[in-house]
């Protein structure tokens, strides 16, 4: 979707709201497709003292298999968006992923929102930030409680213990 900004480009204080949804079901991430549901985006672009600032919120549900405990999961994903829109990218802007060039007097929302999602995806898909994962020895899901295994010894201590036992 292209968002027309001609009304506010030269009008400090002007605001253009937007609401759209984005289909990222084909976006591959680490071998899976974690965003099968539409991504809903809502926000506005405001001309703040001559600078076009886009703010908003993206929400969807993340579907995946946890990288730590291997369980399939679904959870809410919400991303807050803050980007600067410029009529022409200057050299230093190329280093800033949150600065976008307008297409004439229009903002390419799909492009901006897709970038926001990609930049916000964690490098691992986790069922929750504090997932405890599986025991490396017995494979028990530690989210369900501790396992019977003894605590893994620090390998340096293990060597020391072997030495002392001799
Ligand atoms: Zn997990
Ligand atoms: Zn264990």
DSSP string across 93-146? GGG-TTEEE-BTTEEEHHHHHHHHHHHHS-SS--SSTT---B-TTT--BGGG--
Q: What is the pTM of this model?
A: 0.80
Q: How far is the CA of 150 from the centre of ligand 2 (A)?
A: 7
Average pLDDT, the chain: 91
Q: pLDDT digit string (tens) for 45-81?
A: 999 999 999 999 999 999 999 999 999 999 999 999 9
What was the pLDDT predicted at 151? 65
Q: How far is the CA of 68 from the centre of ligand 2 (A)?
A: 14
pLDDT, tens only, 82-122: 999 999 888 877 788 899 999 999 999 999 999 999 999 88
> How confident is the model at residue 164, as a pLDDT?
75
What is the average pLDDT across 19-39? 94
Measured in angstroms, how far is the CA atom of residue 19 from the centroid of ligand 1?
32
Question: If you measure from the C-alpha of residue 162 to the centroid of ligand 2, how many angstroms do you get, rounded to a whole number?
Answer: 22
């Amino acid at each position: 979707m292209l968002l027309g900004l001609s009304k506010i480009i030269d009008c400090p204080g002007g605001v253009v709201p937007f609401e759209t949804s984005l289909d990222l079901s084909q976006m591959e991430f680490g071998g899976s497709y974690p965003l099968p549901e539409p991504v809903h985006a809502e926000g506005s672009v405001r001309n703040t003292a001559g600078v076009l600032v886009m703010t908003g919120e993206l929400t969807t549900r993340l579907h995946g298999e946890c990288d730590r405990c291997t369980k399939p999961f679904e959870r809410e994903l919400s991303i807050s968006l803050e980007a600067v829109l410029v009529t022409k990218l200057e050299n230093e802007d190329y280093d800033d992923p949150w600065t976008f060039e307008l297409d004439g007097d229009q903002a390419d929302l799909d492009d901006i929102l897709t970038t926001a999602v990609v930049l916000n995806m964690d490098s691992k898909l986790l069922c929750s930030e504090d997932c405890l994962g599986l025991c490396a020895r017995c494979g028990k899901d530690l989210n369900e409680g501790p396992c019977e295994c003894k605590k893994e010894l620090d390998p340096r201590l293990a060597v020391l213990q072997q030495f002392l036992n001799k």
